[in-house]
Amino acid sequence: MPRKAIATLMLVMAILTIFSFISIEIRRIIWLKNLVKQKDIEIEHYKDAYEHAFNTTFKTNASSLETASNVTNKILFRSTDWNAEIVDGILSENPLCSPKLFLLILVASAPENFEQRDAIRKTWADPENKNSAISGLKTKTVFLIGRSSSRFLNALLKSENEVYNDILSGDYLDTYRNLTLKVVHGLRWASSHCQPSYTMKTDDDCFVNVPLLLHFLWKQNPIETNLYAGHVRWTSPVIRNPNNTLKFEDAHLPCCWMFEQREIGVQIISFTCSRLKERVAVTPQNGGRLNVSLLKRRIQGFRWYVSESDFQGSRFVPYVNGAGYVLSLDVLRKFAKFSGVVKLFPNEDAFVGTVLNMAGIRPTYSARFVAHSAAWQMCNFLYLFVVHHVKPVRQFEFQKLADKAWEECSLTDMAHDWV
């Protein structure tokens, strides 16, 4: 390729990159203006908060981000000790829990995901949602967020939390590799400060069917103790090479015939089973079918890379997908106890499963936690607890469908178990 063409291509890429950053900043400013308008916040108050954040957090300690990063690496990769003072975040106050809290929902979020949090607060986390008030059961949603390398974002987070007081901030860089630290921080905080009857962990790109989950946990749940439920990954390989993906035959995903099908809710019990035959591959080890596109997305290298010094063994014990799982209070307490003796490694959902396995807890499989958001009908929402890969605008669509399902679908066909 001629040098002139290469130079032109690089210039175009640079312009696109700059445009992308500008669009992100514009979206943040729009979000802030909407926040100010909705909550009647004075702009001067925001400016004061920003200046205070800059002066106290950064001017007084120019190396604060570097220090936080070093502390994170020390905790995550070299130490099994847990020090709550180290991970307490940039926000002055942690969320408060009501006495006798029935369901606590911990949502892993990123500092820049304002739009996702805003959509969640206006839909399934809205305390004024009429369908969420089942038998007076108390629920609370808390967002788990680490420190951003952007001063502007950290200041925005402080202002956001002053309005909603629903962010549990961690003093570690908010990266995917630090997700384990984020979740451990959240679960241990839940055990020590909230002690809810049930705790759910999910992500900010998930729709949670709160009314249905509350109804099920209160009236139908057959497992009140030792509960660790969600979409189980029965045997997953440990990724050792951060630069390569695994071969299909190394996956050992469960076979489709292991699970029954239902008339109510989802027709396909497991997302590893696909009706699209052209996208299905057969592995010689298990003889089962699996969705190739989902598998490729799940086994990318670096984000799930775990060194032998962090975790020994070629496969993880069975664990529940981190997009959504439910813990009973006794299991939450066991996690808080045993998480201090298992070395942290950068695979959040596998780490939780490893800790609970050491505590003698085995996962409960549920097909009511699904990994895709396409093609769901209204009556599916009398079956589904969690839907993954949901964009903010679709949170509103799913909430409307879930509300209508209670009014227009047959409640007698509602499932009465986790499967």
Per-residue pLDDT tens for 53-84?
334 333 333 333 333 333 333 333 333 333 44
Residue 180's closest CA among 298, 352, 354, 300? 352
Contact 167, 88 (CB under 8 A): no
Residue 187 CA to residue 201 CA, distance in Å, equals 9
Residue 70 CA to residue 88 CA, distance in Å, equals 15
Half-sphere exposure of 147 (CA within 13 A, CB side): 24
All structural domains of the chain with their residue ranges: 103-234+319-413, 237-251+293-315
What's domain 103-234+319-413's architecture? Alpha-Beta Complex (3.90)
Question: What is the pLDDT confidence band of residue 289, given thresholds at 50, 70 and 90?
Answer: very low
pTM: 0.70
Residue 397's closest CA among 416, 381, 385, 412? 381
Question: What is the pLDDT confidence band of residue 271, given thresholds at 50, 70 and 90?
Answer: very low
Question: What is the pLDDT confidence band of residue 246, given thresholds at 50, 70 and 90?
Answer: very low
Q: Is the per-residue pLDDT at 13 higher than 90? A: no
Structure confidence at residue 213 (pLDDT): 95
Residue 253 CA to residue 389 CA, distance in Å, equals 21
Overall average pLDDT of the 226-248 stretch: 78
Average pLDDT, the chain: 75
Dihedral (Cα; 308, 88, 321, 133), 10-degree rounding? 170
Per-residue pLDDT tens for 164-216?
999 999 888 898 888 999 999 999 999 999 999 999 999 999 999 999 999 99
Residue 331's closest CA among 353, 312, 349, 309? 353
Per-residue pLDDT tens for 335-366?
999 998 898 988 899 999 999 999 999 999 99
User: Which region among 60-69, 131-140, 184-193, 226-235 has the lowest average model confidence (pLDDT)?
Assistant: 60-69
